[in-house]
Amino acid sequence: MSDAPSNIFGTDGIRDLCAPDGRSDGWLNPAGLDRLAVGMARLLGRARDAGGIAASPPRVLIGRDPRTSGPAIERSLTASLERRGIAVRHGGLLPTPAVSVLVEAGEAELGIVISASHNPPEFNGVKWFGPDGAKLSVEEERRITCDVLAAPVDPEVDPGPSTLPAPAAPEEEALRSLYLDRLLAGFGEARPLDGLRIVLDCARGATAPCAREAFERAGASVVVIHGEPDGERINIDCGSTHPGSLARRVVAEGADLGVAFDGDGDRAILVDEAGGTVDGDEMLAIWALDLRARGRLPGDRIAVTVMSNAGMESHLRERGVDLVRTPVGDREVHEAMRAGGLALGGEQSGHIICEDAMTGDGIRTGLALAEIVRRSGRPLSALRSEIPRYPQTLVGVQVGAKPPLEILPGVQRVVAAAKKALEGHGRILLRYSGTEPLARVLVEGRDAEENADWAERIADSLRTDRALASPGEPQGEPRD
């Protein structure tokens, strides 16, 4: 671990490659987790000093997805927190948004999720939710980074895999039920999905224990695929990043729609009744126009990231809905929503946040879109067919280091030429991935061939830049 970074957090917590027994060369080994526990304790101390915590001792709620490295990480983190006088509650397998909801409801003063979200099984991570149930601000992350980097390595902490007994999770079922009660209460009607047939793909992840119950309690007839928690196969050829098997099952079942979650349940991708994939942009457009029609879209604005399609933007603007663009990341979206008093925001990837939530929630998103389908009496394919999409070409280039892109003259010359050629009818987005050692090139415009040509030219400039090929400092990938 390097003591150089000003922020050890990525776009969504801290992530590392982890062996099944929890071994990691990054922060997620026992010694690193012990230092992270220092940051958690200091955060709780600041919250107590500010009058935001009354419980004594302060409580931390830990939830996780089923990755095989999760229990070892949980054991080590629990021991480190308890040594510092912090009470630890164990929620077992819980979707990330459930931890947020439960902390906001007062079940704990800090929420921790052990998960690497949509990443493959060999990764794991630690996400944090502050006393209000929201993700930490960048400023708070930097304060925690200072606390953690200043914390010495405790020589009493075994640097190898944790051999502590697995913590029991007797509250697991009760906490899941409380989460679902609060989630479903937001829909008002007792059975908002009555008469719908829905297929759910749980990605063998954290939604597996509770997604079926949520949709059945809402009145739907439910079929579940990839519904057994499996830490060795989580997200592999299933879930929101691989919706193909869901599409086939929706068509085979004659279902009204399908919902695919990622490994920790904070995002969802939908499939319409004809098997077409419905991404976050289309879901946001459908949801926003429904809210506006019912007078429930404050300011007639929503928050989206720079990745959202310009065709969707034009469609919404023509219908009286403006967009606030943010950097990539659902935290950025949530902060824009808070600042602007907005009721809806999200990402093309399926992270969608509504006004009564602190973070993206795939189950909530699926319920809301299904409810719109039922109430409108129109199939999902018809609702999405009205939304134009400009062609996009997205290319990923493997990198060994991540220097600021603006200091790469060869890359910037090609980007400048592309912007000039596309001026007035297209746009370019060049950024590093928050989840992998990749630079991502997005070219969007009316002409798909022109997009692809410029995307490949920019990608070639990245591939031949020597600064990107060097190993550099460790980046702590993947991160979001």
pLDDT the model gives residue 424: 76
DSSP 8-state secondary structure symbol assigned to residue 138: H
Given a cut of 80, is residue 58 above it in pLDDT?
yes
Q: Is the dihedral of CA 206, 208, 211, 217 positive or negative?
A: negative
Sequence-ordered list of residues with C-beta below 8 angstroms from that of 433, at least 6 positions apart, any chain = 396, 439, 440, 477, 478
Given a cut of 90, is residue 238 above it in pLDDT?
yes
Each residue's pLDDT tens digit, 317-326: 999 999 999 9
Query: Considering the chain, what is the average pLDDT of its residues?
Result: 91
Domain 194-385 class in CATH: alpha beta
Q: Does 392-469 match 14-172 at the fold level?
A: no
pLDDT the model gives residue 472: 42
Residue 119, by phi and psi: left (phi above 0), alpha (psi -120 to 50) or beta? Answer: beta
Q: Which helix (H) or strand (E) holds 201?
A: strand 197-201
The better pLDDT of the pair 52, 282 is held by 282
The total of other beta-carbon atoms located within 10 Å of residue 19's CB is 15
Confidence tier at 389 by pLDDT (50, 70, 90)? confident
Q: Domain limits of the chain?
A: 14-172, 194-385, 392-469
18-27, 51-60, 416-425: least confident range: 51-60
Average pLDDT over residues 155-177: 72
Each residue's pLDDT tens digit, 261-287: 999 999 999 999 999 999 999 999 999
Each residue's pLDDT tens digit, 427-462: 899 999 876 789 999 999 989 999 999 999 999 999
The number of residues making up the chain comes to 480
Copy the structure tokens of residue 432: 């590093």
**Share of residues in the chain with pLDDT > 70 (%):** 93
pLDDT the model gives residue 189: 80
Confidence tier at 166 by pLDDT (50, 70, 90)? low
Confidence tier at 152 by pLDDT (50, 70, 90)? confident
- Nearest to 152, CA basis, from 22, 31, 28, 16: 31
Given a cut of 70, is residue 332 above it in pLDDT?
yes
Average pLDDT over residues 362-379: 98
- Nearest to 112, CA basis, from 151, 159, 77: 77
DSSP 8-state secondary structure symbol assigned to residue 298: G
**Which CATH number among 3.20.20.70, 3.40.120.10, 3.50.50.60, 3.20.20.140 corresponds to the domain 14-172?**
3.40.120.10
pLDDT the model gives residue 2: 42
| Catalytic residue numbers, as ranges | 117
pLDDT the model gives residue 146: 95
Give me the residues paired with residue 431 across strands: 440
pLDDT the model gives residue 340: 95
Given a cut of 70, is residue 363 above it in pLDDT?
yes
pLDDT the model gives residue 329: 87
Confidence tier at 163 by pLDDT (50, 70, 90)? low
Domain 392-469 class in CATH: alpha beta
Given a cut of 80, is residue 155 above it in pLDDT?
no
pLDDT the model gives residue 23: 82
pLDDT the model gives residue 190: 85
Given a cut of 80, is residue 126 above it in pLDDT?
yes
Given a cut of 80, is residue 53 above it in pLDDT?
no
The better pLDDT of the pair 223, 2 is held by 223
Q: Residue 57: is the preceding peptide bond cis (ω within 30°)? A: yes
Given a cut of 50, is residue 172 above it in pLDDT?
yes
pLDDT the model gives residue 1: 42
pLDDT the model gives residue 475: 36
pLDDT the model gives residue 169: 63
Instruction: Please identify which residue in the block is written with the tokens 């062609």.
Output: 391
**Share of residues in the chain with pLDDT > 90 (%):** 77
Each residue's pLDDT tens digit, 77-105: 999 999 999 999 999 999 999 999 999 99
pLDDT the model gives residue 328: 86
List helix spans (H) across 63-132: 70-83, 96-104
Average pLDDT over residues 23-51: 91
